[in-house]
Amino acid sequence: MSLIDTAREVRENAHAPYSNFKVGAALRATSGAVYAGCNVENIAYPEGTCAEAGAIAAMVAAGDNEIAEIAVIADCPKPISPCGGCRQKIAEFAKGEVKVILTTLDGVTQETTVAALLPGVFDADHMSRV
């Protein structure tokens, strides 16, 4: 199953009672294992947690710590892009050249990289003097 197919499938499990906007994400770790996540909203935090964060949490919980590729899908007119917080989370676990696939349920797809999504990323080098 492709990352897009996995993201599409897990998207159906999203808990989005406030926005009704379901998002799915799937990533392949450098180990080859695939992890998926969907957005989860709640009354105290209606924006909820993002699909990408869920996939990363599943990866870390399983003992992997590096993303080789990631895909994100939603039902929208143009490819969905991760929010700023998720871009930083992705950058924490992926090298700049890692492929990011953004797509819609209609199949409109855009491929980019982690570095293109988050230029000027905050990383460990910024803290080299502490």
Q: Which of 47, 52, 69, 111 is catalytic?
A: 52
Contact 109, 85 (CB under 8 A): no
Nearest to 25 by CA among 4, 46, 2, 1: 4
110-119 confidence digits (pLDDT tens): 999 999 999 9
pLDDT digits (tens, 9 = 90+) for 35-52: 999 999 987 776 678 999
Whether pLDDT at 125 is above 90: no
What domains sit in the chain, N to C, each tagged with a CATH number? 3-127 (3.40.140.10)
Q: Is 97 a catalytic residue?
A: no
Residue 89 CA to residue 104 CA, distance in Å, equals 22
Whether the Cβ atoms of residue 64 and residue 93 lie closer than 8 Å to each other: no
Query: Which H or E run contains 113?
Result: strand 109-113
